[in-house]
Amino acid sequence: MLSTGLVAIDSTIVATAVPSIVRDVGGFASFPWLFSAYLLAQAVSVPIYGKLSDMAGRKPIILAGIGLFLLGSVLCGVAWSMPSLIAFRALQGLGAGAVLPVSVTIAGDIYTLQERAKVQGYLASVWAVSSVVGPSLGGIFSALGIWRGIFLVNVPLCLLAGWMLIRTLHENVERATHKVDYAGAVLLAGSLGLLILGALQGGQAWAWNSPIGIGVFVVGAVLLVAFLLVERRAAEPILPAWVVSRRLLATTALVSFGVGAMMIGLTSYVPTFLEGALSSSPLVAGLALAALTLGWPLSASQAGKFYLRIGFKSTALIGIAIAVAGLLILSLTASTPNVALIAVSCFVVGLGLGLLATPTLISAQSSVPWHERGVVTSTNMFARSIGSALGVAVFGAVANSIYGGSSGGDADPATVISASGAVFLAALVAGLLTVAAVLSMPAVKAEDSGNSDAEPVPTQAEGSSSQAAAGGDVPTGKS
């Protein structure tokens, strides 16, 4: 939870301090790269860290991630210009790319199937708390004129998280000689980096049909083809073919993709909608959006009761039905904005996503043994990142087409209402497409999953009640 908190707080604390940062180091035109550089580095590194954690164990990879995040935070705190700050944010992103998926993978290792949904609820609650704590801390540091504190506050948290992991997480990893797929790693990072960059910056930093807008996608696609050819011959590929050839893993990744798109549609446009249409304060708009991250952990913590009784697919269907209902309410009422109604809609969507994301991730984790779980978890979370990146591009294009056709632009409340309503409708379409992905999942009950039972999990953490359990994903060895 501490490790997850590093990434969760950082994702919300920077935005409120942007005006102070620009006043100090300049570079207003470049400040969006503070977010893009971080997201790019995080997204492209997730699959690589997942594979490495299967090869070397979870502990060294997550500690390396915390170390990179710590170094990046310190350097951000002493940055002297906007370009240097952007570069150091990318270093932070490389650390976050290890911390987030490996922490979720560790939870999959040390807890039984019955316990895991509640634990995922605990991890989700970190995001709920961070959605309130992050902007508040950012506002306080900005008001005091010490924006560098938003990065330096990570230092004690990193040290504490690292110390607790060193002290309580003990692994008995079978040591073997591995052949690292360096060529695959470089090609994967390069191809995905360019494709995500094109999706994030297209229509904003450059026109979609400009030479650079087209060239980024072309070069990214060429590198992706080269990556696929290299992976066919690699002894230990970074992204094995079985990840996309197994029906359960492929469909749950598609579901995660949809979750990322729906999430970014709300988190990016609900605050803008309320502030532009109703002149609500940033605090009120942020609290309305926080209802989304409050509903998620509430339902995620109860998901285990559902999937143990009715199965993963049925639980996910209930979740996507609730999420689509919330998005439908949001779309139908966008023309008559109301803060309370928006908050309720976000809460309903959060409830649905908690019942959707948790069982699909756990079903994927439970279908593979320990030495494949890191790749499966990172692939699932990477799909969510891709969904968010493409969602930003699509929703941005939808909104900009409406803003561009209005003389008032984003300063006109009526135009804001129209553009936001179109984005909410697009998010609803993403939800309906996700329904198809859930329906395509194989109907696997919880007791039928868990190939890992045949191979005991060689990981153990102090305080896990699964140490005394029988069956399931039970750690072995002494703690």
Q: CB under 8 Å to 36, separation ≥6 — which residues?
A: 197, 200, 201
166 found inside a domain: yes
Average pLDDT over residues 184-207: 80
| Residue 459 DSSP symbol | E
Whether residue 400 sits in one domain with residue 272 = yes
Say whether both 261 and 368 belong to one domain.
yes
Q: Please report the pLDDT score of residue 194 as a whole number.
A: 86
Does any domain span residue 454?
no
151 with 226, same domain?
Answer: no
Q: Is the pLDDT of residue 434 over 90?
A: yes
| Residue 147 Cα distances to 55, 159, 403, angstroms | 39, 21, 32
Same domain, 286 and 426: yes
Q: What average pLDDT score do residues 462-466 get?
A: 40
Position 461 pLDDT exceeds 70: no
Q: Is residue 455 part of a domain?
A: no
Regarding whether 271 and 371 lie in a shared domain, the answer is yes
Looking at 235, 258, 275, the residue that finishes a domain is 235
Question: What is the domain count for the chain?
Answer: 3
Q: Which residues lie across from 171 on neighbouring strands?
A: 459
Structure tokens given for 362: 């756990």
Q: Which two tokens stand for residue 130?
A: 């961070």
Q: Tell me the whole-structure pTM to 2 decimals.
A: 0.77
* Dihedral (Cα; 35, 38, 44, 47), 10-degree rounding: -120
Residue 97 lies in a domain: yes
Counting DSSP H helices and E strands in the chain, the numbers are 18, 2
Tens digit of each residue's pLDDT (9 = 90 or more) over 196-214? 788 777 777 788 788 888 9
Domain span holding position 26: 1-175+461-479
Which of 235, 257, 276 terminates a domain? The answer is 235
Residue 317, pLDDT score: 95
According to the model, what pLDDT value does residue 28 have?
61
* Residue 432 within any structural domain of the chain: yes
Q: What is the pLDDT of residues 80-96, one digit of tens each?
A: 888 899 899 999 999 99
Backbone angles phi, psi at 193, to 5 degrees: -60, -45
Q: Are residues 204 and 272 in the same domain?
A: no
For residues 228 and 257, state if they share a domain: no
Q: What is the CATH number of the domain that holds 383?
A: 1.20.1250.20
Residue 364 domain-assigned (yes or no): yes
Q: Specify the DSSP class assigned to residue 235.
A: S
Helices (H), ranges, 57-152: 58-77, 82-110, 113-143, 149-152
- Residue 69, pLDDT > 80, answer yes
Least confident range of 44-48, 209-213, 297-301, 443-447: 443-447
Select the highest-mean-pLDDT range: 28-37, 368-377, 421-430. 421-430
Rounded to whole angstroms, how far apart are CA atoms 46 and 475?
25
387 and 356 in one domain? yes
The CA distances from residue 108 to 218, 303, 365, 477, in Å, are: 38, 15, 7, 17
The answer to whether the CB of 143 falls within 8 A of the CB of 312 is: no
Is residue 421 domain-shared with residue 370, that is, in the same domain? Answer: yes
Confidence band, pLDDT 50/70/90 cuts, at residue 175: low
Q: Does residue 105 share a domain with residue 205?
A: no
**Residue 52: inside a domain:** yes
One domain for residues 385 and 467: no
Q: Are residues 166 and 206 in the same domain?
A: no
Task: Tell me whether residue 162 is in a domain.
Answer: yes
Across residues 372-379, what is the average pLDDT? Answer: 84
Residue that is written with structure tokens 């049909």 in the block: 209
Per-residue pLDDT reduced to its tens digit, 289-301: 778 878 888 888 8
Place of tokens 């969006």: 32
